[in-house]
Structure 1
């Protein structure tokens, strides 16, 4: 009996040792934990599919710029318009007369008016000389002759309010004589500027210029 008891005790000790070994080494893969940060893999090396319900964080695209494109301010000055250049209001261009100055074009526009030239001096051929000077400048001289009476100065006579007035003033300015309204003796003469020359025209520096 004593021997049988010792045998049972030995069996129990062996069984306990085997059970302890089983507890320390048993469980297999079921107790193996995956280290944090490591992607679990299957036995063949493939990455297992994501768990149901798991979702990747949405990728947000950068917001579009709301700033409008810059635009250059439009110029308010008209093209080709610079201060002080000819063609602007109040500024005469090259070759154009300024305020108060007789213009060549304006003077030429009056030369169609007929001009009659008369000699009121003792100088022979004075009317012919005057007519030659006027024609050389483009004036429309249609008659030459003597004038009876006595006048002090050479002058171009006109009827006020007619084309003769502007023409007589232009001619008088060009040749250095006076421009006057018609006097009573020639009031009813034929239309046109009447130029009556005296001896002062012969010595006038502007004659024929």
Structure 2
């Protein structure tokens, strides 16, 4: 009896060990299968993943502003903005806005100043100041007085202006027109009446003939 019980116990132990070995082998196979499935993703699973947007959408071909406007039915206006440029203005301003053309007197200037001009004779020619007044007055200058100057000998016909006033421009205009010399007033005529002073000498006639 003791021999049978010992044999059964030994048999049961062998069977238990065999079952444990089979279970351990199954566990190892399951772990290996799990790792293989994690490393290799089937193509179907990859295609199911959401796509990563790594590319930009292709830009439209051509300039949108160059596209023709959508045709509209009669009675409707197109919503497309127009690119038509306004016509260039080619009309001239009214003639009334242009300044009138300057007209000059024969032998004179159109803008002869109204600065009073006093003419004095410093020559040996009688009435030379009056003759100069007639010549210059006919050109539009304002002759205020004529007479003689005996305070000294003036070398050449000269127009004098008061320094520090606006007379110098008028004096140079008169001198350019008739070929006179221009100088500021000297002490002998410094306190004379306001205005330009022209002292004519024997060369006045020569200047007029040029």
TM-score normalised to the size of structure 1? 0.51
- Structure 1 residue ranges without an equivalent (≥5): 1-62, 82-86, 88-92, 97-102
Alignment check: 8 A CA contact 1:176 1:206 kept? no
Structure possessing the higher radius of gyration over alpha carbons: 1
Alignment check: 8 A CA contact 1:155 1:196 kept? yes
Matched, 1:183 2:195: no
1:196 to 179, 194, 199: 199
- Structure 2 residue ranges without an equivalent (≥5): 1-69, 73-77
User: Compared with structure 1, are the counterparts of its residues 182 and 68 closer, same or farther at alpha carbon in structure 2 (3 Å cutoff)?
Assistant: same
Give the equivalent residue in structure 2 for 1:164: 167
Q: Distance in 2 between matches of 1:139 and 1:193?
A: 11
Q: What is the aligned length?
A: 128
1:128 to 127, 130, 136: 130
User: Compared with structure 1, are the counterparts of its residues 129 and 64 closer, same or farther at alpha carbon in structure 2 (3 Å cutoff)?
Assistant: closer
User: Compared with structure 1, are the counterparts of its residues 80 and 117 closer, same or farther at alpha carbon in structure 2 (3 Å cutoff)?
Assistant: same
TM-score normalised to the size of structure 2? 0.51
Indicate the SS of the match to 2:156: coil
Q: Distance in 2 between matches of 1:201 and 1:104?
A: 20
Q: Which has the higher helix share?
A: 2
Cα displacement string for residues 83-122 of structure 1 (whole angstroms, at most 9, x for unaligned residues): xxxx9xxxxx9769xxxxxx944x32x1x11111011111
Matched, 1:68 2:70: no
The alignment's C-alpha RMSD in Å is 3.5
Q: Distance in 2 between matches of 1:176 and 1:121?
A: 17
Describe how 1:66-145 pairs up with structure 2 within 5 A: 68=80, 70-75=82-87, 78-80=89-91, 104-105=109-110, 107-108=111-112, 110=113, 112-145=114-147
Alignment check: 8 A CA contact 2:122 2:201 kept? yes
